[in-house]
Amino acid sequence: MPSSSVPFDYSADGFAVRDDVTSIHRVSWEKIARAGSHWTGPQRVEIARQARAARAARNDPPWSRDALPGAEGRLPETAVEAARTIGADAHRIDRAWAESMIEALGDAAYVELGSIVVTVSALDAFAEALGRGHEPLPDAIEDGTPDGARLEAAVDIGAYVPMADPFPGPNVGRALSLVPEANTLFFSNVMAMYGGPSGSFFDLKWDGPLSRPQAELLAARVSALNECFY
């Protein structure tokens, strides 16, 4: 566990993590704790908790995961299933499954839930790569009401959910664009951890410890291990 009460205090644990990465990790935790566009602060933190617990048990067969925590009424059961499946069982996600989740939750709520899950998973994987314990989840902010925001100009491009169109980048860069806050939550981390200070996720090349081809090779391998269908 981190040795400091300050969230993501990497330096206290002896890790020389760039300031921009540390900063966006802390901002992400603050955002997850507060009401978003379609989920309250307590619900968002519970989504994160369910996803983290499922991901920790991802190497166990689904029928032996009885120890996963219950949501205790904080989330509908469909949301619990969605958080756990996105966090641990990506191979189960197909159009039929996604459509059943969207029908129950709504497309924008589904997108926001997904953004929380993938953000927490990315930060947990970062901690694991450092050999550091997972950051304790933030305390939920009880005040605040979801604002219902969604990108009204989003269109059906044949994906599971509507997306921004046109979009100046790859489909993975607009996968969460139906809910702008959700897209920002996840891709602010992508920009910091993937592109780095000398380049953007959307740049073809950058200067840094890894070249763009090297980064893409690592990304492709990680995506394959994580069963990313992109």
Task: Tell me the per-residue pLDDT of 170-179, one tens digit each, with 9 for 90 and over.
Answer: 788 899 999 9
162 within a domain of the structure (yes/no): yes
Tell me, what's the pLDDT at 2?
Answer: 41
Average pLDDT over residues 9-24: 94
Distance CA 28, CA 120 (A): 9
163 within a domain of the structure (yes/no): yes
72 within a domain of the structure (yes/no): yes
Q: Where in the sequence is the domain holding 154, given as residue range(s)? A: 17-225
Q: pLDDT tens digits, residue range 102-140? A: 999 999 999 999 999 999 999 999 999 999 999 999 999
Tell me, what's the pLDDT at 132?
Answer: 94
Task: Record the pTM.
Answer: 0.91
Q: How many domains does the chain have?
A: 1
Tell me, what's the pLDDT at 96?
Answer: 97
35 within a domain of the structure (yes/no): yes
Tell me, what's the pLDDT at 56?
Answer: 92
Tell me, what's the pLDDT at 149?
Answer: 96
- Bridge partners of 155, per DSSP, are 163
Average pLDDT over residues 38-59: 95
Tell me, what's the pLDDT at 230?
Answer: 62
4 within a domain of the structure (yes/no): no
Tell me, what's the pLDDT at 228?
Answer: 74
Q: Which helix (H) or strand (E) holds 168?
A: none
Sole residue written with tokens 């780095």: 196
12 within a domain of the structure (yes/no): no
91 within a domain of the structure (yes/no): yes
Q: Which of 64, 119, 49, 57 is nearest to 89 (CA)?
A: 57
Q: Cα torsion for 87, 144, 142, 26, to the nearest 10°?
A: 50
